[in-house]
Structure 1
């Protein structure tokens, strides 16, 4: 599979997964968070709100992957947000201690996948420039 294929595949997967996970949190509230079932209405409200934000994050991935070429700047901004989420989990681990095992798995995915997404971000834009040549889109004088 080419770099462009991997970028597009991961972007589609990120988009759909984030929308699904976000909506899962909106619908289930505390029940969607391992160990938070009895956390109360404040945590439930926060979790549902963050679920809506996460669904919007997924929609941003789906918007980006529908562009041709996939915009590297958008992929890098979305990847930076993903990496920040992983870093926030590490901060929580340091401050509050070890969370439920699935949260550790999510942190590993966020921290491990971010460098790959960053590296792939401009692969389709580079392919488009190479295919069209460096002078693509420039006016030429022909008399």
Structure 2
């Protein structure tokens, strides 16, 4: 379980940094269905890209700790889950978005429980060895 936690945390961190940087560089072109959106949406998307890249850096910080702090994994997973729940709220309030956004929502709702389950795997392994 420790290897799984480490691998998933690395993947999450790298993916979030890459996605965030892509949004910063590409602007509206990075948002499916928003290619023709105005400057306000472009500004918001680029800003959120920077925030998402920072979120990815937080994952990379956490995974470089030994042991990986369970509290950090739970907090970062909770933020990711909150993003998925926000998409559910958006669907309830505004209707169905581009299909790619629905796929992202499923990932954002499905992945956090795995991290919650694995969060203290390394801390438990260190305690067991001691």
TM-score using structure 1 length: 0.90
Match of 1:57 in 2: 55
Distance 1:108 1:55 in 2: 20
Distance 2:62 2:47 in 1: 23
Distance 1:55 1:100 in 2: 23
Match of 1:89 in 2: 87
Higher helix proportion: 2
Distance 1:108 1:35 in 2: 18
> How much has 1:39 moved relative to structure 2?
1.1
Match of 2:40 in 1: 42
Match of 2:78 in 1: 80
Give ranges in structure 2 of 5+ residues lacking alignment. none
Match of 1:113 in 2: 111
Q: How many residues align?
A: 130
Give ranges in structure 1 of 5+ residues lacking alignment. 133-143
Distance 1:110 1:5 in 2: 22
Match of 1:13 in 2: 11
Q: 1:30 aligns with which of 22, 28, 39?
A: 28
> How much has 1:96 moved relative to structure 2?
0.7
C-alpha RMSD of the superposition? 0.5
Which structure has the larger Rg over C-alpha atoms? 1
TM-score using structure 2 length: 0.99
